[in-house]
């Protein structure tokens, strides 16, 4: 479980660079086409959520709260990526990947055993 969270966190940080580069190019394309597309800004937010979730996944891979935070961030990024419109069609792929990561972290959160409170003894 911990290794999977570490791998997903590292993969998210690496993919953030690719998504960020593509969203910058899509933002320029949206501005040049002047049709009101929002895929550039949406791609930037997806990349930002992926970066934050990747960092939290690495830093708090032993924590139930960290897994829950990653689930929420990946779910937000996934929903934003899937619902974006414009010329950046790859954003749907990144959104689906984020939804898969959210599902993995949700499963790990639900399967993680609750730690006993040491202050009661």
Q: Which pLDDT band holds residue 120 (cuts at 50, 70, 90)?
A: low
Given the structure tokens 């895929």, which residue do they identify? 39
> Does the pLDDT of residue 72 top 90, yes or no?
yes
DSSP letters of the chain? -HHHHHHHHHHHHHHHHHHHHHHHHHHHHHHHHTS---HHHHHHHHHHHHHHHHHHHHHTTT-HHHHHHHHHHHHHHHHHHHH--SS-THHHHHHHHHHHHHHHHHHHHHHSPPPPPGGG-
pLDDT tens digits, one per residue of 4-25: 899 999 999 999 999 999 888 8
């Amino acid at each position: 479980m911990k290794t999977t969270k570490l791998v997903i966190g590292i993969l998210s940080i690496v993919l953030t660079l690719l998504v960020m580069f593509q969203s910058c190019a899509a933002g320029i394309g949206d501005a040049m086409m002047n049709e009101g597309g929002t895929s550039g800004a949406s791609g930037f937010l997806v990349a930002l959520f992926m970066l934050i979730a990747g960092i939290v996944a690495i830093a708090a891979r032993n924590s139930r709260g960290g897994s829950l935070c990653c689930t929420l961030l990946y779910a937000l990024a996934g929903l934003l990526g899937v619902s974006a419109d414009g010329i950046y069609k790859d954003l749907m792929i990144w959104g689906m990947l984020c939804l898969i990561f959210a599902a993995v972290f949700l499963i790990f959160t639900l399967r993680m055993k609750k730690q006993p409170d040491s202050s009661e003894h």
